[in-house]
Structure 1
């Protein structure tokens, strides 16, 4: 599975997985989804955040939780080569 909108750069956001070149971590996007259940309100507050960004953040988080909880499927998430890989 390739998530081309999720990056990890040790020089940005303390190396946390982030969305594109935005200053939004995957964790923050998940928090925003809980805070703004209405996507229209979320889009008004964060117009730079696209639907594909949200989808990939959810996929990344669910894959991380599956692996962390001893999930049966082991997935490898590929990130762009120009950044460090997060496993």
Structure 2
């Protein structure tokens, strides 16, 4: 999968995946959605972002999880 809006620069933000080269890491954007904010609300709080940036951060996170095993607790 190709991510045009996610960039990684080792000299910026410790090499964390960021949105379009901005100093806005993808992970807090995803966490903000998980916390209940809509993409439109996020963009109003962070006007350097576009709604498409938020959606791409979510797609990036989904792909990152798909690529590795995570420790999960089994339901009893």
- 1:49 matches 2:75: no
Of structures 1 and 2, the one scoring higher in RCO (CA 8 A, sep 6+) is: 1
Structure 1 vs Structure 2 CA RMSD: 1.8
Q: Is the 8 A contact 1:30 1:57 kept in 2?
A: yes
What secondary structure sits across from 2:27 in the alignment?
A: helix
Q: How does 1:6-85 map to 2 (within 5 A)?
A: 6-69=6-69
- Structure 1 outlier segments of 4+, above 6 Å: none
What secondary structure sits across from 2:67 in the alignment?
A: helix
Could you tell me the TM-score, scaled by structure 1's length? 0.69
Which segments of 5 or more consecutive residues in structure 1 lack a partner in the other structure? 71-87
1-structure distance, mates of 2:38, 2:8: 28
2-structure distance, mates of 1:67, 1:3: 15
Aligned length: 70
